[in-house]
Amino acid sequence: MTPMAAAQAALAADRAHGDPALWITRVPDAAFLARAAELEAEGPLGRPLWGVAVAVKDNIDVAGLPTTAGCPEYSYMPSRNATCVQRLLDAGAMVLGKTNLDQFATGLVGVRSPYGVPRNVFDASRVPGGSSSGSAVAVAAGIVPVALGTDTAGSGRVPAAFGNIVGLKPTIGSISASGMVPACRSIDTVSIFAGSVDTALAVAQAMAAYDAEDVYSRAAPFAHLRKPAAAAAPRVARIAVEGPMAAPYAAAAALFPGETADISTFLAVARLLYDGPWVAERTAALREVVENRPGIVFPVTRKILEGGLARKTVDAFDAFHLLAKARRVAAELFRTCDALLLPTTQPCPTLAEVAADPIGVNSRLGTWTNFVNLCDLAAIAVPAGIGADGLPFGVTLVGPAWSEGRLAALADMIHRQFAVTVGATGAALPPAAAPAALAADETALFCIGAHMSGLPLNGQVTALGGRLLRVAQTAPQYRLHALGNRPGMVRAADGAAIAGEVWALPTASIGALLAQVPPPLGFGQVTLDGGPCLGFLTEAAGVADAPDITRFGGWRAWLAAAAV
């Protein structure tokens, strides 16, 4: 749609939805249409989000609109946009308004706000999820295709699950938090709600950049937001799930037969987010309010924040040591698998259940989300079906920092496998975006053995920023030999076509990968079915005594035959 058509559609959808608790501040219709007219007159100008309507959680600054963080007495008028908002505007987006949230982003339920409770789009008797409640509902109701939230304990994932939409929780520091009211400053991140994984990834690409003004900002080690092709054999770790989430989770987990991971250390760390030093970090972010103006804070939120004043430093060090262990466990896990698959959250509670036990119910919703930021991981929550009760179910793929692009391919596959629509709109998912083409700063590398997707050495490629482009095969000019746990390929006049995968690697990382390749293997120019490509080759002398396995046509086929 053109910007004007998109603006008119957003306004019409907002009127039709008619939820006064969704917005804290809405841009007046005339001003929103004026922004659309301005964009339309200018034309796209290469801007990737030209005319895309966006909602912004009201703990993120938008110049000219008050920032309340869900607390009227805390309100201030920012003179400049948060860095992430400015980057969206520079990309051609148009902000429709500031959305409701659990006050000071403290909560996963979405009901802790003096501005009311945004309506769950599937069942008005249930919570919308929080803390990014209004942002998630705005996308789930079809008002905007994109909304910004924040995520500390799961606020960008839990409401996504309850709204049947995608929630992208980026690597901490990859998107600037300048201009965002902090919750736990060291582990906060801006998050993205969208109807599809591709849309969320495109928005992340527009916002992600190093920001010297944000002390927790980090420069990406490689272009981590480029979408790869779907891996032929993704290595996804699953968990054992009991209770009402077991059956729907099992359906999603069945897509990835493989190992079951022990996440007990992660769960122990997760409990500390609401019962450890990070409660004190929340208090530190709002110390002036807690100590001098506690009466302006929502009662449940005040109880949580005041609890941080009594935390002991000695207990904090115990927590930091446990966190160090959890991060080590995560590093070991992701050395052998591409992602960890989890249910996003527990069943969606009713408003009455939360009113009866506001803290207990809230804590349960973070069972599988609380540890992710603490362990410096990335995550994408996606819909995975609608239950017999008419409520959506979601799963989350978790990976190491800077793995969003790789997670996106897997997450999109899950979303489309379950053929769910966008939010509660009934609209079908848009066609899947193609994998990003080979970029100018990348080199294509043809992998034939253990470096291929799903195989033991693939982690050497992905750790350097490698992403799968396509399955391919050589021209019929090569012979393949088994060198123990890897193959060796040599040119031969009586050769055959050998199957493999073409990976895109940052050109600056090619040398680092080659340094990990033992002789007689090395890199050379390989002739593929589509032309020449850098690839794995072996010195002829190195395979003189190695079994010839050319007849199998590739390493995967040889492994399958050897396993019989």
Question: Is there a contact between 510 and 564 (Cβ–Cβ < 8 Å)?
Answer: no
Catalytic (active site) residue 57: yes
CB atoms within 10 A of CB 55: 30
Residues across the chain: 564
**CA angle, residues 408, 83, 185, in degrees to nearest 5:** 80
CB atoms within 10 A of CB 400: 23
Q: Residue 367 gets which letter from DSSP?
A: T
In three state form, how does the secondary structure of 527-554 look?
A: EECCEEEEEEEECHHHHCCCCECHHHCC
Alpha carbon distance 96, 254 (integer Å): 40
Q: Which one of 113, 131, 178, 191 is the catalytic residue? A: 131
Question: Is there a contact between 295 and 271 (Cβ–Cβ < 8 Å)?
Answer: no
Query: Which residues lie closer than 8 Å to 242 by C-beta, 6 or more apart?
Result: none
Q: Is 378 helix (H, G, I), strand (E, B) or coil?
A: strand
Cα end-to-end distance, the chain, whole Å: 55
Q: Which one of 132, 155, 178, 453 is the catalytic residue? A: 155
**CA angle, residues 260, 262, 263, in degrees to nearest 5:** 120
* 131's tokens: 């803390």
Catalytic (active site) residue 131: yes
Closest to 271 (Cα-Cα) out of 137, 383, 362: 362
Question: Is there a contact between 65 and 29 (Cβ–Cβ < 8 Å)?
Answer: no
Radius of gyration of the chain from its Cα atoms, rounded to whole angstroms:
25
Alpha carbon distance 503, 404 (integer Å): 17
Question: Is there a contact between 415 and 449 (Cβ–Cβ < 8 Å)?
Answer: no
Query: Which residues lie closer than 8 Å to 308 by C-beta, 6 or more apart?
Result: 279, 280, 281, 282, 283, 284, 290
Catalytic (active site) residue 135: no
Query: Which residues lie closer than 8 Å to 397 by C-beta, 6 or more apart?
Result: 236, 339, 340, 341, 379, 380, 382, 407, 410, 411, 414
Alpha carbon distance 491, 486 (integer Å): 17
Residue positions annotated with a catalytic role: 57, 131, 155
